Chain A
Amino acid sequence: DSGVTQTPKHLITATGQRVTLRCSPRSGDLSVYWYQQSLDQGLQFLIQYYNGEERAKGNILERFSAQQFPDLHSELNLSSLELGDSALYFCASSVGDSGANVLTFGAGSRLTVL
């Protein structure tokens, strides 16, 4: 157990639907990161939050949004889902927000869009 908790572990939904993925960071970590891993794209950085504020943004689609709450947990919202959104979504956390920090990853949420 890495200390980063992601729910749900598996999710199956239909095109056009909306889902929310949840992440609880490791105790003491203030930064949360979201990554998407699909078969043909590898691990793609989506977005980072630090202590409730957005700090860095990657190739996150406009249909996707995220936020970090005062208790530091984070949610990734995916809407108007398409078949191509099927992927593993990983959350990671770190103490600080710079590139010197070590990331701890969760086990991932597997999203299947039918």
Chain B
Amino acid sequence: DAKTTQPNSMESNEEEPVHLPCNHSTISGTDYIHWYRQLPSQGPEYVIHGLTSNVNNRMASLAIAEDRKSSTLILHRATLRDAAVYYCIPGMIKAAGNKLTFGGGTRVLVKP
């Protein structure tokens, strides 16, 4: 299984962008890159995922390096509600089953 490396924590000011890096140098060519987040006292929630191209949705943008060994989740304007632990997870699309494995994640603190 591909391993990921994320910073333990990051701080941001409200309404400023947040760039969350993830290193996944052992990812295979068929693994999607998923991002989930977990708000305090809640279950994880899906943020975004992609394979090769950069992706945008209403929550965030995902920038994937050309060699796919790293990616960056971008929260364009952080709000207090974005304070959470953010997980970067590779997901295999061809292996039987889906063992999405969460690592330690990055704890994001948003300051007003």
Residues in chain A within 8 A of chain B (CB atoms)? 2, 31, 33, 35, 42-45, 48, 50, 55-58, 90, 92, 94, 97-108
When chains A and B are docked, how far (Å) is the Cα of A105 from the Cα of B89?
15
Contact of B97 among A44, A55, A90, A105 (CB under 8 A): A55
Check: B49 CB closer than 8 A to any chain A CB: yes
* In the complex with contacts A99-B93, A102-B49, A42-B43 CB distance below 8 A: no
24 contacts between A and B (CB under 8 A): A2-B45, A42-B104, A42-B105, A44-B102, A45-B101, A55-B96, A55-B98, A56-B96, A90-B44, A92-B43, A97-B97, A98-B92, A98-B94, A99-B32, A99-B90, A99-B91, A99-B95, A100-B32, A100-B91, A105-B43, A105-B44, A105-B45, A106-B43, A107-B43
* In the complex with contacts A45-B102, A48-B98, A103-B46 CB distance below 8 A: yes
**Count of inter-chain pairs, beta carbons less than 8 A:** 79
Cβ of A93 to closest chain B Cβ, rounded Å: 11
Interface residues of B in 2-40 (CB under 8 A from A): 31-32, 34, 36, 38
When chains A and B are docked, how far (Å) is the Cα of A56 from the Cα of B95?
10
When chains A and B are docked, how far (Å) is the Cα of A57 from the Cα of B99?
7
On whether the beta carbons of B104 and A56 are closer than 8 Å, the reply is: no
**B95 partner residues in chain A, CB cutoff 8 A:** 98-99
On whether the beta carbons of B92 and A99 are closer than 8 Å, the reply is: yes
Cβ of A74 to closest chain B Cβ, rounded Å: 15
When chains A and B are docked, how far (Å) is the Cα of A57 from the Cα of B69?
26
Which one of B97, B101, B105 has the highest number of Cβ atoms from chain A below 10 Å of its Cβ? B97
On whether the beta carbons of B97 and A56 are closer than 8 Å, the reply is: yes
Task: Supply 6 further A-B pairs (C-beta < 8 A) apart from A98-B91, A100-B91.
Answer: A35-B102, A45-B101, A94-B98, A99-B93, A103-B46, A106-B43
When chains A and B are docked, how far (Å) is the Cα of A56 from the Cα of B35?
20
On whether the beta carbons of A100 and B99 are closer than 8 Å, the reply is: no
Check: B55 CB closer than 8 A to any chain A CB: no
Chain B 58-83: CB-based contact to A (< 8 A → 1; otherwise 0)? 00000000000000000000000000
Contact of A102 among B46, B103, B104, B105 (CB under 8 A): B46
